A and B are shown apart, each in its own frame.
Chain A
Amino acid sequence: MIASILVQTLVNGSVYALLAAGLTLVFGVGRLLNLAHTVFFVLGGYIMYSLTRTLGWGPIPSIAVTVVGAALLGVLAYRFIIDRVRHHPQAVLLITVALAMFIQEILYWGFGDYYRTSPSLMSGVTVILGIHVSNEYLLIIGVMVVVMIILWLLLAKTKLGTAIRATANDAEIASLMGISVSRTLMITMGIATALAGLAASLVGSLWITYPVAWMEPLTTVLIIVVLGGLGSLKGSIIAAYLMALAELLAYNFVPNGNFLAKPFMLLFLIIVLVVRPGGLFGIILEEERL
């Protein structure tokens, strides 16, 4: 029981972390709250589904195409829609919600209101310290670790990473230094949606995909991002695992757990925010007067 909860926490936490990392990156760099973020996750799930089930591709090319496709769609959505309203925060909120609804309706049109899953990526079970862990779970956890190392190297060591961090710090000064804020944001958005696409392709066989599947993870991911502190990558990764644990504990141990799991997580969030108004690792927004 305890062991399976721990394994499940690591798996769910990894998926949440991939999603939350993208959301917090876009917020940190552009102060844009992208409510359409998880719709790219759903979109990735559908790309994966059509590649593997309809076209019968193998897992590796499908994952690659899903990631690239999600990144491309994110870049297009930013370039043609979000970039135009970048300076109006409320309009950004609304336009991303409208975009999410738009994509959801397109998916309804194309795939119908059915529950879809992709075939599993790996089979077999590995025994670690006497616990049976499915290889697919290990793959998800492994990919998460590798991706986070790559992301960290990208942000810390490359010229693009420097540009992204500079824009996050102060967009005005960054643009004075010759960094195109709009272009940096576009690339960041691409990275974020690529991460969402990757998460979707990894859990294609474990989580059910349907057109409205973006709302449920959206609240969870937003809670995680706020708990970790908006704009903090480290914070959101830690918070992802914490929230996955809290959710599973509530499911398994609280009476009426399936109804109260979400309220339980939210109560935890409220307590953390009352004690630390900037999240666990957040930037304090007091100076910026947001």
Chain B
Amino acid sequence: MLKRLVSNFRWGVVPVPGRLIAVIFFVSLFILPLIFGSSSYALFILSFANIFVIFAVSWDVLSGYTGQVNFGHALFFGAGAYGSALLNRYLGWQPAVTIPLGALIATLIGVVTCFPALRLRGPYLSLLTMAFPLILAGILMSFQGVTGGSYGIYGIPPIADSRVAQYYIILIVMTVSVLIMWKLTDARSRYVRTGLIFHAIREDEITARATGINTINYKILAFVIGGFFGGIAGAMYAHVLSIANPYLLALTMSFQVIIWTVFGGMVSIYGPVVGVYTLFLLMDRLRDVPVIATHRFLVLSAIVIVILMFMPEGIAVWIRDKIERECPRCKLTNGAWRKECRACGAHLH
């Protein structure tokens, strides 16, 4: 077992720069509290970044991989947040129970909303899904007695008492969620077919159906995955910030996740991770720079525009294409500095 792990690392991770960077990134996230100390502000911000990573990756699975471009992903975030907040407020349940239940509520809402969405495609689907969070926000606003109206529900307990424990819980949930979503969407996997089928549905749904795939079921599955992980992110967000308000369902929230993911690179699990970590942390850092602080949204949007003008596929995909090259013969990924494929010896140029 350990021997296999070591040999996987030696031959599968080290020669591919992208994978090596990913492993170093996750390991460094786990040792960060040792460097920053236990109660620092950085851990708090990184917890939010990790929550948004789950949120952005779940959008990427639904919209990037399956091609059901969702303009209302805040629906799942808000449903998870409100679900767990209401359960905690009125039944007094603990975060360990309310977060999974909140995610299940979001999944349920995802399944309900995907039925009208299944009939539609392309921009019609996107714009229809944009409607759902606004509907939910309107409903929540009109039941002010239960949901607190525009103030929302506040005073929800945090996930754990100490900040370090909270950071580690969120980090572990994030790592496991990203791993699950990565495996589910891996088109070359030998164990699950979903990755390949999601790609097929995005590329050409008619052909996918003609080859005997029940595309409707797989689209529902994509909504379930997106809803579940979006709901987890929302429920954790509500507990960390100890508030759930209608802002979580606003259009800004839905656009935010699109901005992060497309900036990092769609149809890649690492794209949204890079996008969230770059833009969210940059935004937070800019708050401390004296002149820029008041105009940080201006700086941010200018950066997004300029980067996208030159890298329309996203920054992570652009970097990947610079440091990695796929072997034309055996489709194995190699470092860009190699002249010959590390497995079959074919010329890479």
Chain A residues at the B interface, C-beta cutoff of 8 Å: 27, 33, 81, 84-85, 87-88, 90-91, 93-95, 97-99, 101-102, 104-106, 109, 215, 218-219, 222-223, 225-226, 230, 256, 259-263, 266-267, 269-270, 273-274, 277-279, 282, 285-286, 289-290
Of the candidate stretches B6-14, B49-57, B103-111, B131-139, the one touching chain A is: B131-139
CA distance A251 to B301 in the complex (A): 35
Residue pair A88, B124 in contact (C-beta under 8 Å)? no
**A222, B125: Cα distance in complex, Å:** 12
Report whether over half of chain A's contact residues are helix, strand or loop; otherwise say mixed: helix
Q: Which residues of A contact B263 (CB under 8 A)?
A: 94
Q: How far does the alpha carbon of A105 sit from the alpha carbon of B296 in the complex, in Å?
A: 9
User: Which residues from B are CB-within-8-Å of A101?
Assistant: 297, 300-301
Q: Mark B115-149, 1 if CB is under 8 A from A, else 0.
A: 01001111110111011101100110110000000
Measured in the bound complex, the distance between the Cα atoms of B302 and A99 in whole Å is 8
Contact of B123 among A33, A263, A269 (CB under 8 A): A33
Residue B304 interfacial (CB < 8 Å)? yes
Number of A-B contacts (CB under 8 A): 125
B69 CB within 8 Å of chain A:
yes
> Which residues of A are found within 8 Å of B135, using beta-carbon distances?
262-263, 266-267
Are B295 and A94 interface neighbours, CB within 8 A?
Answer: no
Interface: B251 (CB within 8 A): yes
Asked whether, in the complex, the Cβ of A230 is within 8 Å of the Cβ of B312, the reply is: no
Q: Once the chains are docked, how many angstroms separate the CA of A225 from the CA of B132?
A: 17
| B128 near A85: Cβ-Cβ < 8 Å | no
B204 within 8 A of A: yes
Contact B295 A109 (CB under 8 A): yes
Closest A residue to B259 by beta carbon equals A94
Picked from A90, A97, A260, the residue with its CB within 8 Å of the CB of B142 is A260
Asked whether, in the complex, the Cβ of A274 is within 8 Å of the Cβ of B123, the reply is: no
Which residues from 249 to 273 on chain B have a C-beta closer than 8 Å to any C-beta of chain A?
Answer: 251-252, 255, 258-259, 262-263, 266
B120 touches A273 (CB 8 A): yes
| Residues B116 and A105 in contact, CB atoms below 8 Å apart | no
Is B97 an interface residue when CB atoms closer than 8 A count as contact? Answer: no
Q: Give A91 to B264 CA distance when docked, in angstroms.
A: 11
Shortest distance between the CB of B203 and any CB in chain A (Å): 9
Structural contact, B262 and A85, CB atoms closer than 8 A: no
Leading 10 A-B pairs by shortest Cβ distance: A263-B138, A105-B298, A290-B122, A266-B131, A102-B301, A256-B142, A101-B301, A91-B312, A98-B304, A94-B262
A265 to chain B, nearest CB (A): 8
Query: Is B323 at the interface (CB under 8 A from chain A)?
Result: no
B residues bordering A, Cβ < 8 Å? 69, 116, 119-124, 126-128, 130-132, 134-135, 138-139, 141-142, 204-206, 251-252, 255, 258-259, 262-263, 266, 295, 297-298, 300-302, 304-305, 308-309, 312-313
A263 CB contacts on chain B under 8 angstroms? 134-135, 138-139
The answer to whether A226 and B302 have CB atoms under 8 Å apart is no
Is B138's CB under 8 angstroms from A109's CB? no
**CB neighbours of A109 from chain B (8 A):** 295, 298
Apart from the given pairs A94-B308, A226-B124, A266-B131, 11 other A-B contacts in the complex at a CB distance below 8 Å: A97-B258, A97-B259, A99-B301, A106-B298, A109-B298, A230-B123, A266-B135, A269-B128, A273-B119, A273-B128, A277-B124
Contact between A270 and B141, CB atoms less than 8 A apart: no
Contacts of A270 in B (CB 8 A): 116, 128, 131
Can you name the residue of chain A whose Cβ is closest to the Cβ of B122? A290
- If A97-B258, A101-B297 touch, whether A285 touches B121 (CB-CB below 8 Å) is yes
Complex CA gap A179/B198 in Å reads: 37
- Check B251 against A262 for contact (C-beta < 8 Å): no
- Residues in chain A near residue B116, CB distance under 8 A: 270, 273-274
Contacting pair B131 A81 (CB below 8 A): no
A91, B262: Cβ atoms closer than 8 Å: yes
* Given A106-B298, A277-B120, A215:B131 Cβ within 8 A: no
Q: Are A262 and B138 in contact (CB under 8 A)?
A: yes
Set A81, A225, A269: member contacting B309, Cβ < 8 A: A81
The answer to whether B305 touches A98, judged by C-beta atoms less than 8 angstroms apart, is: yes
Note all chain A residues with C-beta closer than 8 A to B300.
101
Would you call A289 and B206 a contact (CB within 8 A)?
yes
